[in-house]
Chain A
Amino acid sequence: MITTLVGNYPKVPSLTDGPNLRTAITRYDQKRITAEEMARVADDATRDAIGEQARAGLDLLTDGHIRWEDEVTYFSRGLSGVSLNGLLRFFDTNTYYRQPIVSGALAWQKPVTVRDYTFAVEHSQKPLKAVLPGPLTLACHVQDNHYKDFKKLTFAAAEALNAEATALQAAGASFIQWNEPTLVRAKEHFAVFQELAKIVTRGITVKTALYTYFGDISGLYPQFLGLPFQVLGLDFVMGEANFGLLKGFPQEKELGFGIVDARNTKLEIVEELVGHLDGLRATVSLDRVYLNPNCGLEFLPRKNAYEKLERIVAAAARAKEVLL
């Protein structure tokens, strides 16, 4: 059993002791510090986020997505054909993203996240995974003024994400993940997604993961379990129905068990988490489980996010004692 997170980690410390990314961004926007100074603070904040994950005892880390404005903008604006528009609400969260406008061919030109990933790896004692937006989530959050054809837009997004994954693989990434909340919120796109899944994973020989959250896979089961990713991440907090949809979980696949609520500060009780893991054993053996929050931790203040990681690590340790 491996403890991990789903993607982002809070960027600014609750107290004022860490690298002050927030102040740096304000100063950078006001042109009071240079791009190099800005980059240095972002790197410091990345190291800080990695350090905290490691300190909590997590097995598999991420770079915390410190440079990401939100779940779609950062990657989108690295592509050609994209400009940025106003703010829109991200699902039912009280967080907002800047909507990318696609006004030309959406194409990958150069790596967007590779430098962030390699920097993080260099500064981590623990293994790291690379986490990208999913093609459907990306396509459904842009305003398309170019393709005027949803399927074509999604294919372009998938090709761009495959190019990015290929670059990450070449840079040494051994685990590449796509985050795809839209798939469980707009299930009518599942058939298209099956094609997108083939595109994003084409030529990727390292471990791949697809994480869904903010909902369950009812209606997509059992086909969902056949998607071409080695790890399938599901949300068991906002998607309780997922508990009943694990029967026949393929032997060769692993499960991302999103059981800790990343959208509420209330702390889970370790024994209850162990109880869930115990129940899970009937369908998925624990050596094929990633224990993680249900979604990115940035919905929480830094301090609370850290406490959630501690609970995850404690639950995994306790489960290994009593269940394995």
Chain B
Amino acid sequence: MTKGLLTTSVGSFPKPDYLLRARNQFAAGKLPARELEELEKRATKEWIDFQEEIGIDILVDGEQYRGDMATYFAELMDGFTISGLVRSYGNRYYRKPIAVGPVARRGPMTLEMWKYAQGLTGRPVKGMLTGPYTMADWSFNEYYPTREAFIMDLARAVHEEALDLERAGATYIQIDEPALSTRPEEMELGSRALGIVTQGLSAHTITHICYGDFAKVFQHLVTLPVDQLDLELANSNYQLLDYFRKARFEKAIGLGVIDVHNHLVEQVEEVKRGIKQALQVLKPHQIYVDPDCGLKTRSVEEAQAKLRVMVQANREVKRELGIE
């Protein structure tokens, strides 16, 4: 029997109301860090249990303890301060990292939470890191004379974190690079930085890319030094698959089959169609089925409903095609 079509998630899940309230209280100085951490662990456990219950193969911790994906790491590193509020869109604001000195890892950043999450399940939990290119691109820079110098220091720091995760037993390590596809002229630099992160790792490495002009960056994407490219397919009606049809592609792809920007929950049939379309281009073992992107902007109910549809659609495709 052919093997493949494992299910997973891109990274973030929505935070339950009690955790959102607790984060606000913590920010206002009304809740001790220890109590917040307890609630983060409770929410993490709930998401791990949910993923196990619906039968996802490779789990994530849901990033219940993170705010912004660049700022979270910057706060734990040397060389950064955090800015005042900047707008992301609409009425959403966040604080950006500012590089004010040489950036470096102070110590493990995600290790403890990963160990906690992995301790809750027998299935693999992915290590989740923000890539050096995205960290730099989403920070202000008051220190480095060039973007390259900034990105390379970050690459070394993220590499150390990846090594720690691998030593602790992580078999899947994802390095998110959502900013990478925005500047075709810097893809080579971003790729070099990613190479530093993944160098010498034996874990299955993944990079998540979103929102790009894929026509301009595709040739670089396929050569990125990772085992798996995680891409959004659902929100572009699977048009990206055409690129894979044209090129010989041996790596794996994370096949985004759930549109994370839409409140509407997908139909099982629609997701099955997407997976089958991908199977015309790639072999089952090359395909990891997941949502397009992190689900943190959806409600808990929407996210769970979407994940259930994803798992069911994948299960039906596997049954119909005899994939184990």
> A interface vs B, CB < 8 Å?
10-12, 14, 22, 25-26, 29, 69-70, 86-89, 91-92, 94-98, 264-266, 298-304
CA distance A86 to B91 in the complex (A): 15
Contacting residue for B90 out of A98, A301, A304, CB 8 A: A98
Interface pairs A-B: 7 shortest CB-CB:
A301-B84, A14-B84, A96-B89, A86-B261, A92-B182, A266-B142, A265-B140
Given A92-B182, A266-B142, verify A86-B262 contact (CB < 8 Å). yes
Given A264-B141, A302-B84, verify A22-B91 contact (CB < 8 Å). yes
> B interface vs A, CB < 8 Å?
83-91, 93, 96, 98, 137-138, 140-142, 179, 182-183, 211, 235, 259, 261-262
CB distance from B111 to the nearest CB of A (A): 27
Interchain Cβ contacts under 8 Å between A and B, 10 examples: A12-B93, A29-B91, A86-B259, A87-B89, A89-B182, A94-B88, A98-B89, A264-B140, A301-B84, A302-B85
Contacting residue for A266 out of B85, B86, B141, B179, CB 8 A: B141
Residues of B within 8 A of A96 (CB): 88-89
CA distance A86 to B259 in the complex (A): 10
CA distance A302 to B93 in the complex (A): 12
Contacting residue for A11 out of B87, B138, B262, CB 8 A: B87
Is B88 within 8 A of A303, CB to CB? Answer: no
CB distance from B159 to the nearest CB of A (A): 23
Is B91 within 8 A of A25, CB to CB? Answer: yes
Most buried by B among A25, A69, A96, A302: A96
Nearest neighbor of A265 in chain B, beta-carbon distance? B140
Residues of B within 8 A of A10 (CB): 85-87
Is B88 within 8 A of A304, CB to CB? Answer: no
Given A86-B262, A264-B142, verify A70-B89 contact (CB < 8 Å). yes
CA distance A96 to B211 in the complex (A): 11
Is B90 within 8 A of A94, CB to CB? Answer: no
Residues of B within 8 A of A88 (CB): 211
Is B142 within 8 A of A95, CB to CB? Answer: no
Is A265 within 8 A of B211, CB to CB? Answer: no
CB distance from B73 to the nearest CB of A (A): 15
Is B87 within 8 A of A89, CB to CB? Answer: no
CB distance from B135 to the nearest CB of A (A): 11
Is A301 within 8 A of B85, CB to CB? Answer: yes
Is B93 within 8 A of A266, CB to CB? Answer: no
CB distance from A67 to the nearest CB of B (A): 12
CA distance A303 to B82 in the complex (A): 13
CA distance A262 to B160 in the complex (A): 33
Most buried by B among A14, A94, A98: A94
Is A95 within 8 A of B84, CB to CB? Answer: no
Nearest neighbor of B186 in chain A, beta-carbon distance? A92
Is A94 within 8 A of B179, CB to CB? Answer: yes
Nearest neighbor of B68 in chain A, beta-carbon distance? A94
Is A87 within 8 A of B261, CB to CB? Answer: yes
Is A69 within 8 A of B86, CB to CB? Answer: no
Is B142 within 8 A of A94, CB to CB? Answer: no
Contacting residue for A69 out of B90, B137, B261, CB 8 A: B90
CB distance from B2 to the nearest CB of A (A): 35
Residues of A within 8 A of B87 (CB): 10-12, 95, 298
CA distance A10 to B95 in the complex (A): 13
CB distance from B298 to the nearest CB of A (A): 12
CA distance A322 to B90 in the complex (A): 43
Nearest neighbor of A29 in chain B, beta-carbon distance? B91
Residues of A within 8 A of B261 (CB): 86-87
Is A97 within 8 A of B84, CB to CB? Answer: no
Contacting residue for B211 out of A11, A89, A302, CB 8 A: A89
Is A300 within 8 A of B86, CB to CB? Answer: yes
CA distance A320 to B98 in the complex (A): 33
CB distance from A263 to the nearest CB of B (A): 8
CB distance from A36 to the nearest CB of B (A): 19
Residues of A within 8 A of B211 (CB): 88-89
CA distance A25 to B88 in the complex (A): 15
Is B179 within 8 A of A265, CB to CB? Answer: no
Residues of B within 8 A of A299 (CB): 86
Residues of B within 8 A of A300 (CB): 86
Contacting residue for A265 out of B93, B98, B235, CB 8 A: B98
CB distance from A304 to the nearest CB of B (A): 7
Is B83 within 8 A of A304, CB to CB? Answer: yes
Given A89-B211, A92-B182, A264-B141, verify A301-B89 contact (CB < 8 Å). no
Nearest neighbor of A24 in chain B, beta-carbon distance? B91
CA distance A95 to B98 in the complex (A): 17
CA distance A98 to B262 in the complex (A): 12
Residues of A within 8 A of B93 (CB): 12, 22
Is A95 within 8 A of B183, CB to CB? Answer: no
Residues of B within 8 A of A97 (CB): 89
Most buried by A among B84, B93, B140: B84
Residues of B within 8 A of A86 (CB): 235, 259, 261-262
Known contacts A69-B89, A86-B259, A95-B88, then 14 further A-B pairs from the complex at CB < 8 Å, ordered by chain A residue: A10-B86, A14-B84, A14-B85, A22-B91, A69-B90, A87-B261, A92-B137, A92-B183, A94-B137, A96-B88, A266-B140, A301-B84, A301-B85, A304-B84
Nearest neighbor of A73 in chain B, beta-carbon distance? B90
CA distance A88 to B182 in the complex (A): 12
CA distance A91 to B183 in the complex (A): 9
Given A69-B90, A87-B89, A92-B182, verify A301-B83 contact (CB < 8 Å). yes
CB distance from A75 to the nearest CB of B (A): 15
Residues of A within 8 A of B183 (CB): 92
